[in-house]
Amino acid sequence: MLGVSMAAFGSLSDRLNDTFDRLRGKGKLTEADINVAMREIRMALLEADVNYRVVKDFVTRTKERCLTAEVLESLTPAQNVVKIVLDELTELLGGTESKLVLSSRIPNVIMLVGLQGSGKTTAAVKLAYMLKKQGKSPLLAACDVYRPAAADQLATLGGEIGVPVFRGDGAHPVEIARASIREAVDTMRDVVIVDTAGRLQIDEEMMQEAVDIKKAVKPDQVLMVVDAMTGQDIVNVVSTFAERTDFDGVIISKLDGDARGGGALSVREVTGKPIKFVSMGEKPDSLEVFSPERMAKRILGMGDVIGIIEKAQEAATAEQLASAERMLRDGFTMDDMLEQMKAVKKMGGMKGILGMLPGGQRALNQMGGNLDEAVFDRNEAIILSMTAEERRRPSIINGQRRARIARGCGLTPTDVNALMKQWGEMNKMMGKVRAMAQQQTGGKKGKKGKKGKKMRMPGMGGMNMNQLMNQMGGMGGMSDMDKLMQMNEQFKRK
């Protein structure tokens, strides 16, 4: 999940981790220590613009659990406190993943509501893109007749992802919504996404129009799009919509912005409605299914390694998977390194991946969010200046060749040396992975003369990813709190 930096929670994440660091430094904890920690957590949440009633209830529940003898008398009380905060934060965000529920009727209808500027139109397009990837045939209905060029914007964005848009120019929004259903039936479209109009503030006319459209098309799902930058005002907005349109779930948009993000933490608690999707970025594929536990872990600086694996699987092509098997067999080349750099870009760049590693978001915040992504372009230029033989066998690149390569790409021998050092480290790591793979597969013939079992890494001949990651440093089993804390400590020491 979530392949970009979560800027909206950066400050909150830093504050919470500072609090946990102080607890870890104390060993045994007293009630006074817990009280100080809870006061710091309360201030961190309030400064992140979380609704004050939500903060009060959250801290009360967390404090009550932290003051038990099981925590205070344990050998690792600080880790227990972090685990409790993680549990309560996960529950605050909804507890479990809430999937989009569609009925068996054709077409299904999904209606989007929200204030103007909340990101409904882009959310509609991203949702259409997601459903199209899942094998659906969506149709977008442009029911915002008030905002200038709203239908044009939807038509342009829909055209970019290959999804048709029904406009109904000149008609009333309710009639456009009705006609879009007929259009979907006529053109064999199985999902209609209705993009409704928003206003700068909640008003009766807007609310009544949303109610009328809902009565006219009887949507299977009503989703409210909420801007993460709304702050505490989000409570009044979602409460009013919940009363009038009784929506089924929430899409949090612009979660990659510089807002404090507290509004997103308040939605579930205030309305009882689940967060179904989060949108972080401008690209069509930046809408992602919301996972409370994984979001909570990222806010607490524990990363989302599962999300990295999912991103890698999504980005992988058949050619890349075959290349991965060859790397395990024959070694790591410069062509492989170039492909890996392209894959990292496709997954959101180093900033996105680092933000999903334990402690990574905190490191990014300490760097002011600055990470030199241009290094990919420099390294690509260096690799493309090599001969085919040099790319295939980097070990033959001596000082004379390095100077020639540097001249060819307009960089310095120092830049080439830096790339060669990176290649050496990655080649060494690939050697370790290859050794693990051979060890896991037995490496020798069994009693009946058969070779060991085939590797079970997904996309790499099948090696078991969880076992491999455990061998590489305990990154499998992400629910194991002790391993998470150990990784976080290791990251900070580095």
Mean pLDDT for all residues in the chain: 76
Confidence band for 284, pLDDT divided at 50, 70 and 90: confident
Task: Tell me: is residue 117 an annotated ligand-binding position.
Answer: yes
Q: Which residue has the higher pLDDT, 407 or 73?
A: 407
Task: Tell me: is residue 483 an annotated ligand-binding position.
Answer: no
Q: Which residue has the higher pLDDT, 444 or 274?
A: 274
CA 456, 458, 461, 465 torsion: positive or negative?
negative
Q: What is the pLDDT of residue 487?
A: 41
Mean pLDDT is lowest, of 29-38, 407-416, 437-446, for 437-446
Q: Give the pLDDT mean for 65-88.
A: 83
Q: Give the pLDDT mean for 35-56.
A: 88
Q: What is the pLDDT of residue 465?
A: 40
Of 3.40.190.10, 3.40.50.2000, 1.20.120.140, 1.10.150.650, the CATH number of 7-93 is 1.20.120.140
Query: Which CATH number applies to 108-290?
Result: 3.40.50.300
Residue at 296: amino acid letter: A
Number of H helices, E strands in the chain: 23, 8
* Cβ pair 294, 304 in contact under 8 A: yes
Q: Which residue has the higher pLDDT, 306 or 190?
A: 190
Q: How many CB atoms are closer than 10 A to CB 246? A: 11
Q: Give the pLDDT mean for 153-163.
A: 93
Sheet holding 275-279, edge to edge: 165-166, 138-143, 191-196, 108-113, 221-227, 249-253, 275-279, 287-289
Backbone torsions φ then ψ of 289, nearest 5 degrees: -65, 135
Q: How is residue 273 written in tokens?
A: 């409605």
Domain boundary assignment for the chain: 7-93, 108-290, 316-436
Task: Tell me: is residue 349 an annotated ligand-binding position.
Answer: no
Task: Tell me: is residue 115 an annotated ligand-binding position.
Answer: yes
Task: Tell me: is residue 253 an annotated ligand-binding position.
Answer: yes
Please give the CATH topology (third level) of the domain spanning 316-436: 434 Repressor (Amino-terminal Domain) (1.10.260)
Task: Tell me: is residue 404 an annotated ligand-binding position.
Answer: no
Q: pLDDT tens across 220-266, in order?
A: 999 998 887 776 677 777 777 877 788 888 898 877 655 556 777 78
Helix (H) or strand (E) holding 223: strand 221-227
Please say if the pLDDT value at position 175 is more than 90.
yes
Residue 328: name the closest of 475, 435, 421, 459 by CA: 435
Q: In terms of C-beta density within 10 A (0-12 exposed, 13-18 middle, 19 or more buried), how is residue 381 classed?
A: middle
Q: What is the pLDDT of residue 240?
A: 79
Confidence band for 340, pLDDT divided at 50, 70 and 90: confident
Q: What is the pLDDT of residue 476?
A: 34
Q: Give the pLDDT mean for 47-56.
A: 85
Confidence band for 402, pLDDT divided at 50, 70 and 90: very high
In degrees, rounded to 5, the angle at the alpha carbon of residue 436 between the alpha carbons of residues 433 and 437 is 85
Task: Tell me: is residue 352 an annotated ligand-binding position.
Answer: no
Please say if the pLDDT value at position 55 is more than 60.
yes
Confidence band for 451, pLDDT divided at 50, 70 and 90: very low
Q: What is the pLDDT of residue 455?
A: 38
Q: Which residue has the higher pLDDT, 453 or 60?
A: 60
* Cβ pair 88, 62 in contact under 8 A: yes
Task: Tell me: is residue 116 an annotated ligand-binding position.
Answer: yes
Q: pLDDT tens across 4-40, in order?
A: 345 556 678 888 888 888 888 777 888 898 999 999 9
Q: Give the pLDDT mean for 349-359.
A: 55
Please say if the pLDDT value at position 358 is more than 60.
no
Mean pLDDT is lowest, of 242-246, 289-293, 432-436, 470-474, for 470-474
Q: pLDDT tens across 92-130, in order?
A: 888 777 888 888 888 999 999 988 778 889 999 999 999
User: Of the spans 45-49, 75-79, 217-221, which averages the highest pLDDT?
Assistant: 217-221
Residue 47 pairs in a beta bridge with: none
Q: Give the pLDDT mean for 440-458.
A: 44
In degrees, rounded to 5, the angle at the alpha carbon of residue 374 between the alpha carbons of residues 379 and 368 is 135
Task: Tell me: is residue 255 an annotated ligand-binding position.
Answer: yes
Q: What is the pLDDT of residue 217?
A: 92
Backbone torsions φ then ψ of 311, nearest 5 degrees: -60, -40
Task: Tell me: is residue 114 an annotated ligand-binding position.
Answer: yes
Please say if the pLDDT value at position 473 is more than 70.
no
Question: Is the whole model's pTM more than 0.75, yes or no?
Answer: no
Q: What is the pLDDT of residue 50?
A: 84
